[in-house]
Amino acid sequence: MFKSITAAIAASIIAAGSAACAGQTVEDQTVEDNREVDAASDSTMTADQARRADPGETDMTDEGPAEARAVLMDPDGNEVGTVSFTQTPNGVLIRAGLMNVPAGEHGFHIHETGSCSPDFGAAGGHYAPRSNEHGALVDGGMHAGDMPNIFVSEDGTLVTEVLNANISLEDGATGTLFDDDGSAVMIHSGPDDYQSQPSGAAGDRIACGVVERM
Ligand SMILES: [Cu+2]
């Protein structure tokens, strides 16, 4: 926020200068610019929230990763898409862009270990740092890594977003994807039923990607 106020003040100085050149009164310009500064002061965002809400500034900080990415591979080693993660004040926004995935409904999870080799079993179970049960339909649920099913088009593509409020990209946070052994994204052959233990009876693991800091 300090930066935006500073920018507003700097803009006011420049604008005042050019207004004077253009023959307008400097006084008029100053009233208008004061309004800008007031508007910035009225904001209830904390400086930290403001920084995170602005992707342009997020990359300039050194307070931990705000973005991450996983490249998904099928069991034959072919790339089938990318999943990107962006920290927000309300959770992690996840965007998946897929291709060459079988059409239909698929379970889509964060798994507990950041490994997809020698096979996708290396990713372990669902990421569950709070030891919840599996599934949104279950009392005592759900795993932090549980997310809604995805629906892939007939042509094998999908672009979708989901906000996961139970995970974080921040070091040391409960639910961080960057714990000691990392995390992986998984797509299953069938849908998650949101209640079967321990993983929603979603079938085989058909795509896996290790979550990596950006
Ligand atoms: Cu899974």
Domain boundaries, the chain: 2-43, 67-213
Whole-number Å distance, alpha carbon 106 to ligand 1 midpoint, is 10
CATH entry, 67-213, from 3.30.1450.10, 3.20.20.70, 3.20.20.150, 2.60.40.200:
2.60.40.200
With contact defined as beta carbons under 8 Å apart, do 135 and 200 qualify? yes
> What are the φ/ψ torsions at residue 72 (nearest 5 degrees)?
-90, 135
Whole-number Å distance, alpha carbon 107 to ligand 1 midpoint, is 6
Given a cut of 60, is residue 75 above it in pLDDT?
Answer: yes
State the average pLDDT for the chain.
Answer: 81
Q: What is the pLDDT of residue 63?
A: 63
Q: Tokens at residue 21, please? A: 């050149």
Least confident of 1-5, 96-100, 124-128, 146-150: 1-5
pLDDT confidence bin for 66, thresholds 50/70/90: confident
Structure confidence by residue, pLDDT tens digits, 94-143: 999 999 999 999 999 999 999 999 999 999 999 999 999 999 999 999 99
Whole-number Å distance, alpha carbon 125 to ligand 1 midpoint, is 7
Nearest to 187 by CA among 128, 106, 112, 127: 106
How far is 38 from 191, CA to CA, in rounded Å? Answer: 51
Whole-number Å distance, alpha carbon 112 to ligand 1 midpoint, is 10
Whole-number Å distance, alpha carbon 105 to ligand 1 midpoint, is 13
Whole-number Å distance, alpha carbon 39 to ligand 1 midpoint, is 46
How far is 153 from 32, CA to CA, in rounded Å? Answer: 51
Whole-number Å distance, alpha carbon 41 to ligand 1 midpoint, is 45
Whole-number Å distance, alpha carbon 51 to ligand 1 midpoint, is 33
Given a cut of 60, is residue 60 above it in pLDDT?
Answer: no
